[in-house]
Chain A
Amino acid sequence: MKRNLFGIQCFGNYLLLMLILFISAPLQAQTEKYNMTRGATDISQQVYDLHMAIFYICCVIGAIVFALMFWSIVYHRKSKGAKAAQFHGSLKVELLWTAIPVVILVVMAIPASKTLIAMEDASKADLTVLVTGSQWKWHYKYMEYPIEYYSMLATPRDQIDNLAEKTELYLRDVDKPLVLPTGKKIRFLVTADDVIHAWWVPAFAIKKDANPGFINETWTKVDKPGIYRGQCAELCGKDHGFMPVVVDVRAPEEFDRWAAEQVELQAQAKADAEKAAQQTQSMEELMALGQKTYEIHCAMCHQISGEGLAGAIPALKGSVMVTQDIAAHIHIVVFGKPATAMQAFGKQLTTSELAAVITYERNAWGNNTGDLVQVADVAAAIEAGE
């Protein structure tokens, strides 16, 4: 008698727990910390709904199976005096519990297929952006405007190394986000410069692999302005966790204003670079710009101390490369070293930055070669080519 009550209590508790979980599920689903985001687009909402639907189905299936199991564990135990039945099987039952899951799956597959087909239709876009992943940053190029730029992690090295307190946007912020207009269908052409990366923005329910040598396409249409953050979603080497995606979606008029501004800025930067090419800089000017450039672009691998990473990243402090042949030094910075993580920075930095960072490397950390590398020297190296 006592044992029976205990069993009923156990089972009752189990049912109560299930009930609480079910009722609270919609509330829990609100919490961004535990659940997928609803996102900012029609598609992302559909994806969220599919996710919740399959989740609830799984919960129901699990609850039923586990309820039967626990009932059995409580009531069909030898200590309760249960006698084992000797049935071997039942064809009817087998067919039933094969057919019913198939039906459930077909029911799930229909809306899933519909949403997938919609997600893969990038036609009739209003705006196209070429997204290029490389180790370890993103590059955005607008096809309809002469605007292109790199987008890199903005979190200072100090925070990562636990030397400074981490700010709210730790590892989630970039220097130049991708800016897009609301209400327009935007097509993304995704590719990579070196290894496979993946461009992921949860709020748009977009995740597309960036394959080197090939383009993939995807699209979105964002209705709400805002800042949406994502990350690289394919292991791409050492700093895979340090190349976030930030998309700043603005009202169309604001976007147009930004675009016009950018076109001007980029034209201005080009003109500045050309002017700088004619001038010579002083050691102080080169070192100042060089240090800034080094910290943003080089320190991730070669370290602020210039000591690199034994066995993986060469040290620059006291190294032959940066203290001996200037032409070879310029060459490796501009053209990179094929088949290694040393990229070709000629594509990414202006000639002024290149000249400055090379000068900095030749004189920092006690290297003190006294060499000044000017823009003209860099241009000459590009002329000399491979």
Chain B
Amino acid sequence: MVSHRLLVRKLVLICIAMFGFGFALVPLYDVFCRYTGINGKTENTAAPASRRVDESREISVEFLANRDPAVPWSFAPEIPSISVHPGQVKIVNFLVENLSGVATIGRAVPSVSPGEAARYFKKIECFCFVEQPLDAHQGKAMPVQFYIDPDLPSHFTTITLSYRLYNNTPQTVGR
């Protein structure tokens, strides 16, 4: 009589491994995104300081502020766009104001277009790294300090940085 036990065990292990692989795709995807720029994802942590500036090129950086309808804030960039040399560090403010009479917490999610340029967009400091609380009727300027990596391929001339602002106040997070 042939014993099937060994083969069955191997097959069950493959199944379990593939189930784990399905979940492993989640961090794998993030790593891949960071490397290739799918969906224009940028790092969520501070980038190292810029080392050199390439004066021969100018990149136009545009700013977009999208507000999720559930956020009772106004949200807009101070300036719609700015021209920078790759490597040059700039600070741009995004202005928010809590229009409601209730303290709210917001969280901004960045997205860069074109996607392939995302990994060259280095943020030294960004309000998107942490949640932003605002009291009733409070307004503030949220800065993003960034530079474009001089290694940016030459065919890129315009980069758009877009933020989507979500309402992260505990009792309103949707289910």
Residues of A within 8 A of B (CB): 120-125, 128, 130, 132, 143, 187, 189, 191, 193, 211-217, 335-336, 338-339, 343-344, 346-347, 382-386
Within 138-175 of B, Cβ neighbours of A (below 8 Å) are at 155-158, 160, 162, 164, 167, 169, 171-175
**Given A213-B111, A215-B162, are A124 and B157 neighbors across the interface (CB < 8 Å)?**
yes
The closest CB in chain A to the CB of B169 belongs to A386
Contact between chains at A122 and B114 (CB < 8 Å): yes
Closest A residue by C-beta to B98? A385
Q: Smallest distance from the beta carbon of A61 to chain B beta carbons, Å?
A: 34
Q: A123-B155, A215-B40, A386-B104 are in contact. Are A336 and B99 (CB under 8 A)?
A: no
Task: Assess the A336–B104 pair: CB atoms within 8 A.
Answer: no
- Other-chain residue from A128, A211, A382 in contact with B99 (beta carbon distance below 8 A): A382
Taking a contact as CB atoms closer than 8 A, the residue among B67, B136, B174 that contacts A339 in the complex is B174
Question: What is the CB-to-nearest-CB distance from B164 to chain A, in angstroms, rounded to a whole number?
Answer: 5
Closest B residue, CB atoms, query A347: B69
Are B172 and A338 neighbours in the complex by a CB distance under 8 Å?
A: yes
A82, chain B: closest CB distance, angstroms? 45
A132 touches B66 (CB 8 A): yes
Choose among B69, B155, B157, B164 the residue that contacts A336 (Cβ–Cβ < 8 A).
Answer: B69
Chain B's closest residue to A379 (CB) is B99
* Contact between chains at A386 and B80 (CB < 8 Å): no
Other 18 A-B pairs with CB < 8 A, given A215-B111, A386-B172: A123-B156, A123-B158, A124-B157, A124-B158, A191-B66, A191-B164, A213-B111, A214-B40, A215-B113, A217-B114, A339-B175, A343-B69, A382-B99, A383-B101, A385-B72, A385-B136, A386-B70, A386-B167
- A143 close to B80 (CB less than 8 A): yes
- A121 touches which of B66, B69, B155, B173 (Cβ 8 Å): B155
Tell me, in angstroms, the Cα distance from A215 to B113 when the chains sit together. 7
A-B pairs with lowest CB-CB distance, top 3: A385-B100, A338-B174, A344-B69
Q: How far is the CB of B156 from chain A (nearest CB, A)?
A: 7
Q: Mark B108-133, 1 if CB is under 8 A from A, else 0.
A: 01010110000000000000000000
Residues in B33-83 with C-beta less than 8 Å from chain A: 39-40, 62, 64, 66-70, 72, 80
Contact A338 B70 (CB under 8 A): yes
Nearest CB on A from B139, distance (A)? 14
Chain A residues in 8 Å Cβ range of B72: 335, 382, 385-386
Chain B contacts for A132, CB-based, 8 A: 66
Determine whether B14 belongs to the interface, using a CB cutoff of 8 Å to chain A.
no
Q: Which of B40, B98, B157, B160 has the most CB of A within 10 A?
A: B160
**Is B102 part of the binding interface, using a Cβ–Cβ cutoff of 8 Å?**
yes
Pair count A-B, CB < 8 A: 92
Q: CB within 8 A of B162: which of A191, A212, A338, A382?
A: A191
The answer to whether A384 and B101 touch (CB under 8 A), given A143-B80, A213-B164, A344-B70, is yes
Instruction: List, in ascending order, chain A residues with CB within 8 A of B171's CB.
Output: 386
Assembly CA distance A344 to B113 (angstroms): 27
Tell me the minimal C-beta distance from B45 to chain A in angstroms. 19
The closest CB in chain A to the CB of B167 belongs to A386
Given contacts A143-B62, A189-B162, A191-B162, contact A386 B113 (CB under 8 A): no
Please name all residues of chain A whose beta carbon is closer than 8 Å to the beta carbon of B164 when the two chains form the complex: 191, 212-214
Contact with A along B12-25 (1 / 0, CB 8 A): 00000000000000
Most buried by A among B70, B98, B156, B174: B70
CB of A346 within 8 A of CB of B169, answer no
Residues of A within 8 A of B40 (CB): 214-215
Q: Are A217 and B160 in contact, with the CB atoms below 8 A? A: yes
Q: How far is the CB of A330 from chain B (nearest CB, A)?
A: 13
Residue of B nearest to A211 (CB): B39
Least CB separation from A338: chain B residue = B174
Q: Please state if A217 and B113 are interface contacts (CB–CB under 8 Å).
A: yes
Chain B residues in 8 Å Cβ range of A122 = 114
Q: Is the CB of B39 within 8 A of A214?
A: yes
Across-interface contacts of A343 in B (CB, < 8 A): 69
Q: Is the CB of B158 within 8 A of A335?
A: no
Which listed residue (B39, B70, B173) contacts A335, Cβ 8 A? B70
With a cutoff of 8 Å between Cβ atoms, the chain B residues found around residue A383 in the complex are 99-101
Complex alpha-carbon distance, A211 and B113, angstroms: 13
B28 to chain A, nearest CB (A): 19
